[in-house]
Structure 1
Amino acid sequence: MAGHAPVGGHPAQHSFAPRGGALPAAVDARGSRISSGGGPAGRPRPVTSRARVSVPASSGNLGAGFDVFGLAIDVRDEYQFEPSSRDSIEPAGKFLKHVPRDTRRNLAFRAFRSLAPAAAGPYRLHAVREIPPQGGLGGSASAIVGGLVAANHAFSLSLTDDELLRRATEIEGHPDNVAAALLGGLVLTVQADDDLHAVRVPFPDDIGIVVVVPGYHVPTARARAVLPTNVTRSDAVSNLGRSAMLVAALQTGRYAELRVATQDFIHQPYRAELNPALEPGVQAALDAGAYGAALSGSGPTLIAFAPKDRTMRVAGAMADVAIDASSGCETYVANAAETGAAVMEPLAST
């Protein structure tokens, strides 16, 4: 995308401890340490840097990859931070009414402040919200990553992707969406004791993505609460096989296998009662020619993978189901976002 620059080099594999361990000290553009008292001699230092960041939406789970798979989708929010006379938030975009204007509640602003040095004065956030707010497309992950990347750039902190991902996971509580929003593409995250490992996998560019967002809302906390504490061995094995099959199908071009690979046994059956569009929506997508379809995150959003010449047909079929199940829907035909969070040229001050 013109005007976008990746946050930094994205190695194929990331490994770090999500809890504990100090982040590098904040430094300014010249490499001088920024202490809590301001400049190197303790004198207050005015911070005047601006930062503008574009962050993609993301879909978690993709069926069987519960809390492991995250896919960046090229619907993007933007966050521009600039020095101001007071802390404030200016919302814009299609879903501007869903941008919290209280700086204590706004996730992007809170994430930005969590990395800002004590010398940083008041800031104004111009937030452009294009990611649907109903749930299932990583809106909170986008905000968190946007705030962290903006602070990293504005204050020349030089934090690595691993460090940013660790901080984002601590704020979000789970890594799948924030990993995709930060790194782009398809990202697999695995927790091993206190370490978190993230591997980015290229997503085929000949697969179209259809996203349908029903008009009802499913709170993430409620969607988590309906899940069982334990699962059967057969369900666990079924999900293991399907999650491995999904990666293999994408990498070998055997897309027809996505019909089975996007099936799930450990979260979607339990969340169906909260998502009336889920089961009929998935079936409608398959009947219309999709390779596979699943609940996006905890819902209510649905995601389908289809040949690019069938995406509009699939979108129409899924939208009909969503409209029947709710007061309306948002429908998107999109591509995977191979670029994750990207620093952009700041817009002129308003």
Structure 2
Amino acid sequence: MSGAPLAVTATAPATVANLGPGFDLLGLALPAPHDRVTARIVRDSGVRIASQTGYSERLPVEAERNTAGIAAISTLRRAGIDVGIELEVHKGMPIGSGLGSSAASAAAAACAVNALIGSPLRRTELVEACLDAEAVVSGRHADNVAPALLGGLVLVLSIDPLDLVRLPVPDGLLVVVATPDFELETRRARDALPQDVPLTDATFNSGRLAAFVTACFSNDLGLLARAVDDRLHVPARAPLIPGSEDVMQTARDAGALASSISGSGPSVFAFCHGAEASARVASAMRDAFANAGLESLTHIGSADSPGARTQ
């Protein structure tokens, strides 16, 4: 590690997981917001959280219970390097927002620590380090951490062993995300899921997922618009999010190609084509949440956005 930097800062984006019919399988990196982590080599052994700012009020400061800390610990272990690391974490998104908040912290920490120690691990190995962190707080699933690290649109074929596929994003596809001032705990949202689903619903989602992948490779926005429907998690989670069904329908009525719940909610995303349509959809989604008594923030940007990177 001779000549290695003494500190590295990395950012990682919010993500849309459980994208459309891809429950636990499809994830998309968003252009904003981001988490930011600075990793610094210190004399003391182990990993510690030196500070947390932003949306961090209820996050644990113990590295072994914090997703950034766990990802840092796992990155060092996988690299076979024993060095003291201090982390400064800035949370750019609230927890329980459906934007992959825990995954963003983990991805930024893994990226920063890996760069700090000379980048011995590949990005896919960093995904595995972040899976260790996700397993502690929200379950072992990769549809947030994979796009948070790799960027773009990612299909998770398997996590044991890890098998990820980067999907092409159709030309000009934009994403709008509306995040209401409302927290929905990931575990509560997961507890709402049915233990068994009808065969007809499983078949429905399988067909939509096949159509979604086909739309990506064929650059077919019309097919993509028909492929985002879901029967596995959205019907169970929409009642937990005030106004969400109206928000999704309003987005479509305003010109969105498709709309669904982001992650486990409460954020709602919409796919659009063109800046004018995206702005109109964003305004309509904010109004729909307002009609349900919730203020909301919207982000608009490319559906093909980068993942974690050092500054």
Match of 2:84 among 111, 117, 121: 121
Instruction: Name the % identity.
Output: 35
- 2:137 maps to which residue? none
Amino acid at match of 1:277: G
- 2:229 maps to which residue? 263
> What is the distance in 2 between the residues matched to 1:201 and 1:216?
31
How far is 1:208 from its partner? Answer: 1.6
Retained in 2: the 8 A contact 1:205–1:335? no
Retained in 1: the 8 A contact 2:171–2:219? no
How far is 1:29 from its partner? Answer: 4.9
- 1:111 maps to which residue? 71
Amino acid at match of 1:58: T
- 1:245 maps to which residue? 211
- 1:73 maps to which residue? 30
> What is the distance in 2 between the residues matched to 1:184 and 1:115?
19
> What is the distance in 2 between the residues matched to 1:233 and 1:88?
47
> What is the distance in 1 between the residues matched to 2:129 and 2:13?
18
Amino acid at match of 2:301: A
> What is the distance in 2 between the residues matched to 1:306 and 1:190?
26
How far is 1:254 from its partner? Answer: 2.4
Residue range with higher mean Cα deviation, 274-283 or 328-337: 328-337
Please tell me whether residue 301 in structure 1 is matched to residue 270 in structure 2: no
How far is 1:209 from its partner? Answer: 1.0
C-alpha distance 314-49 of structure 1, shift in aligned 2 (>3 A): same
- 1:210 maps to which residue? 176
How far is 1:97 from its partner? Answer: 4.6
Gaps of 5+ in 2: 135-139
C-alpha distance 49-274 of structure 1, shift in aligned 2 (>3 A): same
C-alpha distance 261-119 of structure 1, shift in aligned 2 (>3 A): closer
> What is the distance in 1 between the residues matched to 2:37 and 2:83?
18
State the TM-score, normalized to the length of structure 2: 0.87
Retained in 1: the 8 A contact 2:75–2:126? no
Retained in 1: the 8 A contact 2:286–2:296? yes
Find the residue that maps to 2:129 and give its secondary structure: helix
Retained in 2: the 8 A contact 1:165–1:182? yes
- 1:177 maps to which residue? 144
Amino acid at match of 1:90: S
Retained in 2: the 8 A contact 1:319–1:331? yes
- More helix as a share of residues: 2
Residue range with higher mean Cα deviation, 295-304 or 317-326: 317-326
Gaps of 5+ in 1: 1-27, 31-46, 345-350
- 1:82 maps to which residue? 40
Residue range with higher mean Cα deviation, 256-265 or 289-298: 256-265
CA RMSD of aligned residues (A): 2.4
Residues 36-65 of structure 1 show CA distances to partners (whole Å, capped at 9, x for unaligned) of xxxxxxxxxxx9731111111110122111
Residues 90-140 of structure 1 show CA distances to partners (whole Å, capped at 9, x for unaligned) of 3445x45566545454321232133347752352x3323223434211110
Please tell me whether residue 162 in structure 1 is matched to residue 124 in structure 2: yes
Match of 1:341 among 294, 308, 311: 308
Residues 21-170 of structure 1 aligned to structure 2 (within 5 Å): 28-29=1-2, 49-75=6-32, 76-83=34-41, 87-93=48-54, 95=55, 97=57, 100-116=60-76, 119-121=82-84, 123=86, 125-156=87-118, 158-170=120-132
> What is the distance in 1 between the residues matched to 2:255 and 2:247?
13
C-alpha distance 122-176 of structure 1, shift in aligned 2 (>3 A): closer
In terms of Rg, which structure is larger?
1
> What is the distance in 1 between the residues matched to 2:49 and 2:209?
43
> What is the distance in 1 between the residues matched to 2:2 and 2:256?
49
> What is the distance in 1 between the residues matched to 2:85 and 2:153?
36
